[in-house]
Amino acid sequence: MSKDELLNAIRDSIVNLDFDKSKEYTLKALKAGATPQEIILKSIAEGMEIVGKKFEASEYFLSELIVAGEIGKEITKILEPYLKGEEIKKIGKVVIGTVRGDLHDIGKNIVAMMLEAAEFKVIDLGADVPPEKFVEAVKREKPDIVGMSALLTVTMVEMKNVIDALKEAGLRDKVKVIIGGAAVTEDYAKSIGADGYGANAVEGVRICKQWITGK
Amino acid sequence: MQITLREHFKSFERFPVIPILGYPALPALKITTQECLYNSEKHFNVAKYIFQEYEIDSLLTLLDLTVEAEMLGAQVNYTLYDAPQVKRHVNELKYVETEKKKEYIKTVKKLKEFSEDVPVGAYTTGPFTAAGQTIGIEKLVKLSYMEPENAKTILEEVTETVKDYAREIEDAGADYIIIAEPTSSLLSLEHFRKYSKPNLKSVIMALKKEAILHVCGKSKHLLEEVQETGAAGVSIDQNIPLYEASKVLKKGFLIFGNYSPVNLATEKPNVIKENVEIMLNPVKGMENIIASTGCDIPAKTSPENIKTFINTVKNIKRK
CB contact under 8 A, B141 and A19: no
pLDDT range class, residue B319, cuts 50, 70, 90: confident
Three-state SS for chain A is CCHHHHHHHHHHHHHCCCHHHHHHHHHHHHHCCCCHHHHHHHHHHHHHHHHHHHHHCCCCCHHHHHHHHHHHHHHHHHHHHHHCCCCCCCCEEEEEEEECCCCCCHHHHHHHHHHHHCCEEEEECCCCECHHHHHHHHHHHCCCEEEEECCCHHHHHHHHHHHHHHHHCCCHHHCEEEEECCCCCHHHHHHCCCCEEECCHHHHHHHHHHHHHCC
Distance, in Å, from the CA atom of B214 to the CA atom of B142, rounded to the nearest integer, reads: 24
Average pLDDT, chain A: 93
A61 and A96 in a common domain: no
CB contact under 8 A, B79 and A101: yes
A133 and A76 in a common domain: no
Q: Is the pLDDT of residue A84 over 90?
A: no
pLDDT digits (tens, 9 = 90+) for B154-205: 999 999 999 999 999 999 999 999 999 999 999 999 999 999 999 999 999 9
A188 and A128 in a common domain: yes
CB contact under 8 A, B300 and A153: yes
A119 and A79 in a common domain: no
Q: A18, A52, A83: which is the final residue of a domain?
A: A83
Residue B77 near chain A (CB below 8 Å): yes
For the segment A66-80, the average pLDDT, to the nearest whole number, is: 92
Of all residues in chain A, the one with the smallest CA distance to B218 is A61
Residue A199 near chain B (CB below 8 Å): no
- B77, B266, B299: residue with CB nearest A103: B77
The answer to whether the CB of B313 falls within 8 A of the CB of B256 is no
Percent over 70 (pLDDT), chain A: 99
A68 and A168 in a common domain: no
pLDDT range class, residue A85, cuts 50, 70, 90: low
Percent over 70 (pLDDT), chain B: 100
A40 and A101 in a common domain: no
| φ, ψ at B80 (rounded to 5°) | -60, -55
Predicted local confidence at residue B179, as pLDDT: 98
Sort B208 into a burial class: Cβ within 10 Å, 0-12 / 13-18 / 19+: exposed
For the segment A116-134, the average pLDDT, to the nearest whole number, is: 95
Q: Give the minimum alpha-carbon distance from B293 to chain A in angstroms, rounded to a whole number.
A: 14
In this structure, is residue B319 part of a structural domain? Answer: no
Total domains in chain A come to 2
pLDDT digits (tens, 9 = 90+) for B100-138: 999 999 999 999 999 878 999 999 999 999 999 999 999
Q: Is the pLDDT of residue A89 over 90?
A: no
Residues of chain A positioned with their CB less than 8 A from the CB of B188: 60-61, 63-64
Distance, in Å, from the CA atom of A147 to the CA atom of A141, rounded to the nearest integer, reads: 14
Helical residues (DSSP H) of chain B, grouped into ranges = 5-8, 25-29, 33-37, 40-54, 67-71, 99-114, 127-135, 137-146, 148-171, 189-191, 197-205, 223-226, 242-248, 261-266, 269-280, 303-314
The answer to whether the CB of A135 falls within 8 A of the CB of A169 is yes
For the segment A127-133, the average pLDDT, to the nearest whole number, is: 96
Would you give the end-to-end CA distance of chain A in angstroms?
33
Residue B300 near chain A (CB below 8 Å): yes
Residue A104 near chain B (CB below 8 Å): yes
A14 and A115 in a common domain: no
In this structure, is residue B214 part of a structural domain? Answer: yes
Q: Is the pLDDT of residue B250 over 80?
A: yes
Count of A-B CB contacts under 8 Å: 59
Contact residues, A window 150-169, toward B, CB-based 8 Å cutoff: 152-154
Q: Strand B233-235 and strand B210-214: pairing? A: parallel
pLDDT digits (tens, 9 = 90+) for A94-122: 999 999 989 989 899 999 999 998 999 99
Predicted local confidence at residue A182, as pLDDT: 86
CB contact under 8 A, B266 and A188: yes
Predicted local confidence at residue B62, as pLDDT: 97
For the segment A140-148, the average pLDDT, to the nearest whole number, is: 98
Q: Is the pLDDT of residue A141 over 90?
A: yes
In this structure, is residue B182 part of a structural domain? Answer: yes
Residues of chain B positioned with their CB less than 8 A from the CB of A66: 137-138, 141-142, 186
The answer to whether the CB of A126 falls within 8 A of the CB of A97 is yes
The answer to whether the CB of A5 falls within 8 A of the CB of A43 is no
CB contact under 8 A, A70 and B187: no
Residues of chain B positioned with their CB less than 8 A from the CB of A58: 221
DSSP string, B100-136: HHHHHHHHHHHHHHH-SSS-EEEEEE-HHHHHHHHH-
pLDDT range class, residue A127, cuts 50, 70, 90: very high
CB contact under 8 A, A63 and B82: no
Predicted local confidence at residue A215, as pLDDT: 77
Predicted local confidence at residue A153, as pLDDT: 79
| φ, ψ at B297 (rounded to 5°) | -75, 130
CATH of the domain at B62: 3.20.20.210
Predicted local confidence at residue B3, as pLDDT: 87
Q: A44, A63, A83: which is the final residue of a domain?
A: A83
pLDDT range class, residue B275, cuts 50, 70, 90: very high
Q: Is the pLDDT of residue B1 over 70?
A: no
Q: What 3-state class would DSSP assign to B13?
A: coil
Give the residue numbers spanning the domain of B277.
Answer: 5-314
Predicted local confidence at residue B101, as pLDDT: 98
Total domains in chain B come to 1
For the segment A183-210, the average pLDDT, to the nearest whole number, is: 94
Q: Which of A38-42, A150-154, B45-49 has the highest mean pLDDT?
A: B45-49
A205 and A107 in a common domain: yes
A105 and A24 in a common domain: no
**What amino acid occupies position B238?**
Q
A103 and A167 in a common domain: yes
R_g over Cα of chain B: 18
In this structure, is residue B152 part of a structural domain? Answer: yes
- A17, A62, A103: residue with CB nearest B186: A62
Strand partners, A123: A95
Distance, in Å, from the CA atom of B107 to the CA atom of A1, rounded to the nearest integer, reads: 65
CATH of the domain at A74: 1.10.1240.10
Of all residues in chain B, the one with the smallest CA distance to A153 is B262
CB contact under 8 A, A153 and B266: yes
pLDDT range class, residue B2, cuts 50, 70, 90: confident
Predicted local confidence at residue B116, as pLDDT: 74
Give the residue numbers spanning the domain of A69.
Answer: 3-83
CB contact under 8 A, B85 and A103: yes
A202 and A116 in a common domain: yes
| φ, ψ at B18 (rounded to 5°) | -135, 80
Predicted local confidence at residue A83, as pLDDT: 82
The CA angle A29-A30-A34, to the nearest 5 degrees, is 75
- Best residue in A61, A108, A149, A155 to probe B by mutation, most B CBs within 10 Å? A61
For the segment B292-297, the average pLDDT, to the nearest whole number, is: 95
User: How long, in residues, is chain B?
Assistant: 319
Q: A61, A83, A105: which is the final residue of a domain?
A: A83
A59 and A134 in a common domain: no
> Higher confidence at residue A88 or residue B189?
B189
